[in-house]
Amino acid sequence: MPEKKKFNIEYEIKSSPRILYSFLSEANGLSQWFADDVTVRDQTYTFTWDDEKQVAKLIAIKENKLIRFKWVDDEPQTYFEMEIVQDELTNDVALSVTDYATEDTLTERKQIWDNQIDYLISVLGA
């Protein structure tokens, strides 16, 4: 099985870190842009897309700053993370996404994130 490699993409988002964070960390926030349905129980998030469920463990969290998940059925070293980056001079807010993909699926994974983040931006009205 081909090895997954880490990649990072950054998106400019016109939102306050606090509001953006609620869309990254709360079930009702995530279900507005990331998945069709999201349930949370004891640091375990169940994401549903078209009746297909995927389970992720919350492995790191910093309020209004960062959230990191690990898919339970994925390779041990992999995770996906969303970090809110605020420029100290301009106060511009960006969302930095870190994820893993194989060489073959990299373009597709990036495209999925592009679509999801576009959706997030429209939900935020940013």
| Mean pLDDT, all residues of the chain | 96
Q: What interhelical angle do 106-124 and 17-25 show, nearest 10?
A: 120
Q: Where are the domains of the chain?
A: 5-124
What pLDDT digit, counting tens, does each position of 5-52 carry? Answer: 999 999 999 999 999 999 999 999 999 999 999 999 999 999 999 999
pTM exceeding the 0.85 threshold for the entire prediction: yes
Using the structure block, give the residue that is written with the tokens 């893993």.
Answer: 100
* CATH numeric code, 5-124: 3.30.530.20
Q: Tell me whether strands 93-101 and 5-12 are parallel, antiparallel or unpaired.
A: antiparallel
* Cα–Cα nearest to 113, from 76, 65, 81, 90: 81
Amino acid at 36: D
What pLDDT digit, counting tens, does each position of 67-77 carry? Answer: 999 999 999 89
Angstrom distance (rounded) from CA 24 to CA 66: 8
- Strand order, beta sheet including 44-49: 5-12, 93-101, 80-86, 66-71, 52-62, 44-49, 37-41
